[in-house]
Amino acid sequence: MPPKLTKTIIGAIIAVALAAAVSYGVISQQTADQIQTKANQSLQTDQTAPAPAPQQTQPLPQDPTPQAPGEPKPAPQAPASRP
């Protein structure tokens, strides 16, 4: 596929994704315009963003009150029936 066609397709995908994000209220129109401008500049100058550095995963915090292995967990209570 020619590079120009590839860039055009990528630009169109970005535009559609931004339009959907704006219509669902995820981002503002101003933010979408800024992202679109940066994307267009990157596609025109043939620059690609550097890959983000891999993030180290943090260990999940432990439950502050761990239960003993043999201790049963409390069962959820059913809602009271109405008369």
In a domain, 54, yes or no: no
In a domain, 63, yes or no: no
In a domain, 65, yes or no: no
In a domain, 61, yes or no: no
Q: pLDDT digits over 7-54, tens only?
A: 999 999 999 999 999 999 999 999 999 999 999 999 888 655 555 555
Q: Is 31 helix (H, G, I), strand (E, B) or coil?
A: helix
Higher pLDDT, 22 or 63: 22
The pLDDT value recorded for residue 45 is 84
In a domain, 76, yes or no: no
Domain tally, the chain: 1
The pLDDT value recorded for residue 1 is 84
Q: How many CA atoms lie within 13 A of 82 on its CB side?
A: 0
The pLDDT value recorded for residue 27 is 94
Residue 79 tokens read as 């809602």
In terms of Cβ atoms closer than 10 Å to its own Cβ (0-12, 13-18, 19+), residue 11 is middle
In a domain, 72, yes or no: no
> 35: domain range?
3-22+29-44
pTM value is 0.52
In a domain, 8, yes or no: yes
In a domain, 55, yes or no: no
Q: CA distances (Å), 9 to each of 16, 46, 66, in order?
A: 11, 14, 52
The pLDDT value recorded for residue 17 is 96
